[in-house]
Structure 1
Amino acid sequence: MPIAFHHTTLADGRELIYVDDADTTLPPAAERRRDERALDPRPATAIMRQDVLTGEWVSHAAARQNRAFLPPADQDPLAPQTPANPSEIPDIYDVAVFENRSPSFGPLLEDANAPTGLDDLSEIGIERSRTSVGRCEVVCFSPEHEGSFGSLSVSRARTVFEAWAQRTEALSAMPGIEQVFVFENRGQEIGVTLPHPHGQIYAYPFVTPRTQGVLRSIAAVGDDLFARILESEQASERVVARGEYFTAFVPFAARWPLEIHLLPHRHVADLAGLTTEEKDELAPLYRHLLRGLDALYGSPTPYISAWHQAPVHTHRDSVRLMLQITSPRRAADRLKYLAGSEAAMGAFIGDVTPERQAEFIRTGLASADSASPFSTEGDQR
């Protein structure tokens, strides 16, 4: 049975999508409960202001100030609803995707009070502001209260990838969207407020500053930049894992104590462009990388897992899909904090060479593999 998508709405009109595993044991979608809560109207779309010193846009979303903070298991807002827990998801699920109740961007997709688009947003001036149009979604990997992507089965991991790909395609087709960002934050050490296994998707009305930096490098080096990076890294001692379609490595100029990048072997602009075979390999490979990080110190490693994708309307043939996993963990009981040089000037200082990082990460992957052998076939726990 194929992975299945079922679209419905929450009590305040937000979209909710149930995504069923290929081997699901859940009842038919038509039998699932509807959201019967009495909810306040959705908050007004946030406002973003331009930093005239950099030209970057900063969204100010006051509705996020009172969002859930480390709730007990019986009040988990991402767990299926119970009589005592009026959570965001009305019924049991495998994977669930819904519009964020307190979004940084959206729910408006177009700014009726000001021009939108890259030409307008790229201008720089004092006290410029715009409506933070766009969309923010939450992707729940499991109904369990605690966990992460690394704790999923291979089948469930594959379902999440299908959800990411489908949502990337759908969000990219919406008016006013210029870039789609899929990510997972894991660990209180980096500010996670919900232990429930989940990630998020941001659909921005602009091309993000990080990607604009990539575009400058492409202009300087050439449209084949990512192919050249892949060739260079594959020939180095920094490779940590390699499959038929993807290679994972510690980058030449890694910033963080633990940092892994992953590139597809062919050019593909975003998750929506992956083939079935590529997703079949990527789901267990990505899970294996995360389990390897946890095996380094024998306890959960905090990380940010970021899927960098090409802008929606430009540079589709030169910006390649790229995963970047970064962690501030530099020892079993120590974190790297961004101090003066990094936080104030953006000039990172590494404490260990990328080559040593790669060797260390390979030991974690080997340990994870001995505990649960990596395979692109079957469904292993």
Structure 2
Amino acid sequence: MKKTVTTLADGRELIYYDTRDDVVRTAVDPRPLTPVTSRSEIRYDELTGDHVAVASHRQSRTHLPPADACPLCPAREGRESEVPEEGYEVVVFENRFPSLSGGVGRCEVVCFTDDHTASFADLTEERGRLVLDAWTDRTAALSALPGVEQVYCFENRGREIGVTLPHAHGQIYAFPYVTPRTALTRRRIDEHRRATGRNLFDDLVARERADAERVVLEGEQWIAFVPYAAHWPYEVHLHPTRRVPDLLALDEAARAEFPQVYLELLRRFDRIFGPAEPPTPYIAAWHQAPFTDARREDFGLHLELFTVRRASDKLKFLAGTESGMGAFMNDIRPEDAARRIREVASA
């Protein structure tokens, strides 16, 4: 992997990731941009213990532009872009409208391809590996920033999820606090250790492998299964078979196998509701150990992939119980969801 670091016209960092060492990136951003001066505010909810980021400047962010004005496509003559090169493989840049900014974290955009019509599932295994390497590199860089406690890599796909730019991309958040979901998982890890003397993630993966009914895909280095108490209609958790706390700790064998397994999962998701249906909206979320956690080796890196679509013409809305009380109700048995995801495996 070759990494080329430069800056955009307003001073934001831009990083190209290429598979070949002989690629040269020299294009300069010609836009007359003023420096970004946005600043987020982190407020503390005393009732729940949650942190809430207030970022009012995001109200003016780009929203569903036409394809010929996509800011994530490569720049062309007469068309400016966030990426000044005429083509790229994988690129990362600081978000111009960040939720976290001004010394309270950082938000970055990751573009998986310069093809406006492609999705992550359309990538080659070589490109999928390059994205994994970019995620890993940014995790290392962002975790070293002052005040950063947790790094979160994720992808939102589809208007149903709330995506405002259809070009295939993800984001990376460097949080100045431990997120509520991770804090809860941390407590459960400790409770399980006290009760059994064992690791929660090790026992979870062992149980799913032994049961096998909810396992949808397994390789030498990765195992994917629908969780026993899935929150979402179709939800898959992808774990390395050797527990590690973060992307940095994956060995070469796990890195090499990841694109094959993950691309197959994404392609199956697009076939769940049939070939004639629109692409399946989803969220893909990497869960990594907080870098400030003294017992972070107990955490198990994993990716959670889920969709809000429960049928070809129906969505799973977070209504009164979920939004109001955090009490999830699932319309599909996890075992039935796993069966369907196995049925649509690639030939």
Normalising by structure 1, report the TM-score: 0.86
Asked if structure 2 preserves the Cα contact closer than 8 Å seen for 1:136 and 1:203, the reply is yes
Asked if structure 2 preserves the Cα contact closer than 8 Å seen for 1:183 and 1:199, the reply is yes
Shift of 1:85: 2.1
Alignment-derived partner of residue 246 in structure 1: 222
Give yes or no for the alignment of 1:160 onto 2:131: yes
> How far, CA to CA, are the matches of 1:20 and 1:73 in structure 2?
25
Shift of 1:84: 2.7
> How far, CA to CA, are the matches of 1:200 and 1:273 in structure 2?
21
Give yes or no for the alignment of 1:90 onto 2:65: no
Q: How does 1:131-280 map to 2 (within 5 A)?
A: 133-222=104-193, 224-236=199-211, 237-280=213-256
Alignment-derived partner of residue 326 in structure 2: 346
Other structure's SS at 1:200 match: strand
> How far, CA to CA, are the matches of 1:79 and 1:107 in structure 2?
27
Other structure's SS at 2:297 match: coil
Give yes or no for the alignment of 1:336 onto 2:307: no
> How far, CA to CA, are the matches of 1:319 and 1:90 in structure 2?
39
Q: How does 1:12-161 map to 2 (within 5 A)?
A: 12-22=10-20, 28-30=23-25, 32-91=26-85, 92-108=87-103, 133-161=104-132
Asked if structure 2 preserves the Cα contact closer than 8 Å seen for 1:14 and 1:99, the reply is yes
Other structure's SS at 1:284 match: helix
Alignment-derived partner of residue 111 in structure 1: none
Amino acid at match of 1:204: F
Shift of 1:147: 2.7
Gap regions ≥5 residues in structure 2: none
Other structure's SS at 1:29 match: coil
Alignment-derived partner of residue 116 in structure 1: none
> How far, CA to CA, are the matches of 1:319 and 1:36 in structure 2?
44
Comparing 39-48 and 258-267, the one that deviates more = 39-48
Amino acid at match of 1:286: Y
RMSD: 1.3
Shift of 1:342: 0.8
Asked if structure 2 preserves the Cα contact closer than 8 Å seen for 1:43 and 1:102, the reply is no
Shift of 1:94: 0.6
Deviations 1:31-84 (A, max 9, x none): x31112110221232112112211111111112111111111110001111233
Shift of 1:148: 2.1
Other structure's SS at 1:317 match: helix
Asked if structure 2 preserves the Cα contact closer than 8 Å seen for 1:6 and 1:18, the reply is yes
Q: Which runs of 4+ in 1 moved over 3 A?
A: none
Shift of 1:107: 4.1
Amino acid at match of 2:13: E
Shift of 1:206: 0.4
Other structure's SS at 2:298 match: coil
> How far, CA to CA, are the matches of 1:209 and 1:143 in structure 2?
34
Amino acid at match of 1:76: C
Gap regions ≥5 residues in structure 1: 109-132, 371-381
Other structure's SS at 1:199 match: strand
Comparing 222-231 and 188-197, the one that deviates more = 222-231
Shift of 1:181: 0.2
Other structure's SS at 2:181 match: helix
Question: How many residues end up aligned between the 2 structures?
Answer: 337
> How far, CA to CA, are the matches of 1:203 and 1:148 in structure 2?
24
> How far, CA to CA, are the matches of 1:47 and 1:200 in structure 2?
20
Asked if structure 2 preserves the Cα contact closer than 8 Å seen for 1:4 and 1:19, the reply is yes
Normalising by structure 2, report the TM-score: 0.94
Shift of 1:302: 0.4
Shift of 1:153: 1.2
Other structure's SS at 1:235 match: helix
> How far, CA to CA, are the matches of 2:247 and 2:168 in structure 1?
20
Shift of 1:308: 0.4
Shift of 1:333: 1.2
Asked if structure 2 preserves the Cα contact closer than 8 Å seen for 1:43 and 1:63, the reply is no
